[in-house]
């Protein structure tokens, strides 16, 4: 079944600020089920691989530094129309543009340190989940 999985990371800024619990509460409150969850710390190389699609963008090097600067929490989530529903919950990339009550509006500190990742398509959700977790068939 496609369309029911998304992948997220609570990014280093939100984790180090102690906002993981509040963010997970919002995620569950919005009807997502946590299927897999892992606290880890990315190396710069692994962050670079995860964000490879952005490697020509001017912010890529800074993004890789930032994403490897501290622990993150990676999660696979399920809900109907998970990708779109989750993008709505997290808000726009730039917290200054994020709608009131979204996770980024509440917790992000900058366009880079924007608290949380959300997959942008069903295909990328599968790829990103597989990047961190190997038990995909259970979801
Ligand atoms: N980012 C940044 N500067 C920008 C755009 C993006 O530092 O001008 C960072 C930010 O952390 C963002 C990530 O790069 O979440 C990936 O960018 P994307 O455009 O995929 O945004 P997202 O899908 O996370 O909203
Ligand atoms: Mg993206």
* Digit-coded pLDDT (tens) for 116-136: 999 999 999 999 999 999 875
The Cα 9–Cα 6 span in angstroms is 10
Mean pLDDT value of segment 1-20: 93
| CATH 3.30.70.20 fits domain 5-138 | no
Write down the number of H helices and E strands in the chain.
7, 4
The ligand with the least distance to the CA atom of 86 is: 1
* More confident: 60 or 2: 60
Q: Are 14 and 24 in contact (CB under 8 A)?
A: no
Separation CA 43–CA 70 (nearest Å) = 9
Q: How far apart are CA 20 and CA 26, in angstroms?
A: 10
Question: According to the model, what pLDDT value does residue 139 have?
Answer: 59
Sketch the domain layout of the chain as residue ranges.
Answer: 5-138
**Which tokens hold the place of 10?**
């609570």
- CA pair distance 122, 41, nearest whole angstrom: 25
Give 79 Cα–ligand 2 centroid separation in angstroms.
19
Dist. CA 125 → ligand 1 center (Å): 16
Q: Is 59 in the pocket of ligand 1 (CB under 6 A)?
A: yes
What tens digit of pLDDT does each residue of 26-44 get?
A: 999 999 999 999 999 999 9
Is 80 exceeded by the pLDDT of residue 1?
Answer: no
Confidence (pLDDT) at 3: 81
Rounded to whole angstroms, the Cα distance separating 66 from 125 reads: 22
- Substitution candidate for ligand 1 out of 10, 97, 103, 112 with most atoms within 8 A of CB: 112
What residue owns the CA closest to ligand 1's atom 2? 112
User: Residue 57 corresponds to which tokens in the numbers above?
Assistant: 């963008």
Active site residues: 117
**What is the arithmetic mean of pLDDT over 40-63?**
98
């Amino acid at each position: 079944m496609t369309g029911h999985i998304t992948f997220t990371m609570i990014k280093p800024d939100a984790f180090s600020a102690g906002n993981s619990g509040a963010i997970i509460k919002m995620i569950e409150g919005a009807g997502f089920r946590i299927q897999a969850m892992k606290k880890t710390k990315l190396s710069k190389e692994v962050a670079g691989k995860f964000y490879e699609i952005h490697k020509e963008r001017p912010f890529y090097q800074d993004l890789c530094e930032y994403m490897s600067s501290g622990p993150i929490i990676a999660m696979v989530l399920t809900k109907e129309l998970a990708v779109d529903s989750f993008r709505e919950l997290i808000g726009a990339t730039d917290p200054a543009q994020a709608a009131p009550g979204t996770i980024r509006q509440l917790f992000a500190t900058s366009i880079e340190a924007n608290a949380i990742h959300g997959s942008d398509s069903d295909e990328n959700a599968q790829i990103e989940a597989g990047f961190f977790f190997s038990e995909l068939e259970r979801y």
